[in-house]
Structure 1
């Protein structure tokens, strides 16, 4: 049977953050109930695909999925398990924000088979949380985190964001150390990106108030210090922005970077099936072999282990050297890539300019 990942999108949140450009927004109880009912019907409509697949991971993202009640989440997972064969040891993640769960809800999520939580903290400093437009305080995060532990969740990710307006290098270092002291199994450490169409873009886009944002050199130092600090607490960087204790790398996200097939269900969700990409409700677009090769390289290079030459040859019947030899040699000479016996991977310097390196692999 084919291995398959499921992504389920919940487009609701209590309040949209100032930097967020995801498909999400506030909702009423009736809207959430109607959406869950429709979502369950859509999940069951994939019975034909499910017959040939074995689900190895499920990720419920948003928005803020924890705006749903425990019963609504149970309805969704009943539809999933009625339709798909889910591996017994599947990684099942749900995203949540502090202040949106209680012990009863967490207990209900556990009964659904959810075994991994991803908590959107972003900062341990309430001043920075207010700047971002977050709905919670650090104290509310701590309450949520300890409740999750009390309910038996043993695999928790915490999201942190750097390069927040007014944030210093010392502020970022303190955020990292404070969270690492709590010992979550996984930490995602992302840099703020000012996206068009957001309140942040109106305030900081196109060079506006640039003096309030950390400069490029400070951002680079934040990135370096992230690895240095987290490694002292036992976290290994396995992807450009993700760190995990041994054995706790996010299997679902690794699937994305390694191009494992995944099915996205819900408003705005994306899928990769039979080398075709499509958004929910749209017609699939078959990727050319060249496009598949490009994805293998620029997604795979996000991983610290890099891209396997042997696997590339197995997938495409052509060696990486024949397709990308000139690019690899050029990037290696510039000190941006390491060309090993099997794996091609980014150097530390290459990570600093990863977008440039990955763009060089577009055919």
Structure 2
């Protein structure tokens, strides 16, 4: 019997300085803490590898935080440990998130030698004023220097992260960011709207503005909902005109460069997380690591909040994760997975969403229309089943 596929995620919870908008599990830390963390990652990888001998790793993703803050040799050590303890496909996608200002030619050389073949760079904006407001540590010039190093080192699969609806951002400044990034011809672009998360400095600063936006009134510092909508439309128009295919709500790629790791997540493939707070889905069981750094450094690699998903939850996730992708979900795959037709489970919902021109059914697939993509959160909420 063939090995089952498995994706691996490695969380690096360290950064130079925490951004004002960030609610991820991350914080600055000294070299000693970082080294001790890597030591525990190696132990966790070894422990979990014993239980995954019948899996084949198809993707490895280093996320954070800022993974590129670590010494490059430590990243190589982590990858060596994964290769020792897991079966890794020769053509596996191995990606790392990097921030401008944390890369050197030497670092990138070690990444390349260790097998990393995809680099994701967090630019967010080409405006230095907007970057300062976000609390980013880099300038646009820093980004260009890092991007140049990445290309000179021969990386041919590069993503650039962008953000819209930033404080003080205008449609003109956002379009300028888009055009500057497009001129660099990356293989992949992720374009997200800023979300003001509770518990962040941004929430304290912009909570009143966010409430005005929700009421449909004009905020003082954040772009209006109408401006954000225009940014969203401009993203689609410009990227399509420059040869980027939209394969997910916020992700665009040149043909053949869609992020395999993210696609696996949206298709509910098995994935296993290492490191602080990392999440896993293994044979329809969800769990996560401890979120307490002291406990993790003390050797706590236990699975917390383990939940075996029932068929109802699996079907819900199949629909609202799968519909994030522009090619939607396969009706035959639904039937094979659950032993039921999607029409039997979701008939009235599908009929209504199709009638409202939010969904389309074609060639055995169900997917969001352009209009449906614009209101995707509403559409996906319709696929939550009553108990």
TM over 0.5: yes
1:159 matched residue in structure 2: 161
Q: How many Å apart are 1:340 and its aligned residue? A: 2.0
1:174 matched residue in structure 2: 176
Separation in 2, partners of 1:268, 1:356: 29
- Answering whether residue 345 of structure 2 is matched by residue 323 of structure 1, we say yes
1:237 matched residue in structure 2: 246
Q: How many Å apart are 1:206 and its aligned residue? A: 4.3
Separation in 2, partners of 1:155, 1:207: 38
Separation in 2, partners of 1:83, 1:214: 49
Q: How many Å apart are 1:168 and its aligned residue? A: 1.0
Separation in 1, partners of 2:346, 2:363: 15
- Answering whether residue 52 of structure 2 is matched by residue 30 of structure 1, we say no
2:237 matched residue in structure 1: 228
Q: How many Å apart are 1:283 and its aligned residue? A: 4.7
2:360 matched residue in structure 1: 338
Over residues 117-164 of structure 1, what are the superposed CA-to-partner deviations in whole Å (9 max), with x where a residue is unaligned?
000000011011001100000000000001011111110000000000
Over residues 24-53 of structure 1, what are the superposed CA-to-partner deviations in whole Å (9 max), with x where a residue is unaligned?
000000000000000100001013233110
2:283 matched residue in structure 1: 274
Separation in 1, partners of 2:181, 2:274: 32
- Alignment match of 2:199 (pick from 172, 197, 200): 197
Q: How many Å apart are 1:169 and its aligned residue? A: 1.0
Separation in 1, partners of 2:243, 2:179: 12
Gapped regions of structure 1 (runs ≥ 5) = none
Q: How does 1:212-361 map to 2 (within 5 A)?
A: 212-280=221-289, 281=302, 282-361=304-383
Separation in 2, partners of 1:110, 1:70: 10
> Structure 1-normalised TM-score?
0.98
Over residues 168-198 of structure 1, what are the superposed CA-to-partner deviations in whole Å (9 max), with x where a residue is unaligned?
1111111111101100000000000000000
Over residues 250-306 of structure 1, what are the superposed CA-to-partner deviations in whole Å (9 max), with x where a residue is unaligned?
000000000010001100100000101111131521001000000000000000001
2:293 matched residue in structure 1: none
> Structure 2-normalised TM-score?
0.92
Partner SS state of residue 50, structure 2: helix
Separation in 2, partners of 1:145, 1:49: 39
Separation in 1, partners of 2:208, 2:190: 27
1:84 matched residue in structure 2: 86
Whether the 8 Å contact between 1:155 and 1:185 is mirrored in structure 2 is yes
Separation in 1, partners of 2:338, 2:320: 16
Whether the 8 Å contact between 2:209 and 2:222 is mirrored in structure 1 is no
Q: How does 1:32-111 map to 2 (within 5 A)?
A: 32-111=34-113
Partner SS state of residue 45, structure 1: helix
Partner SS state of residue 101, structure 1: coil
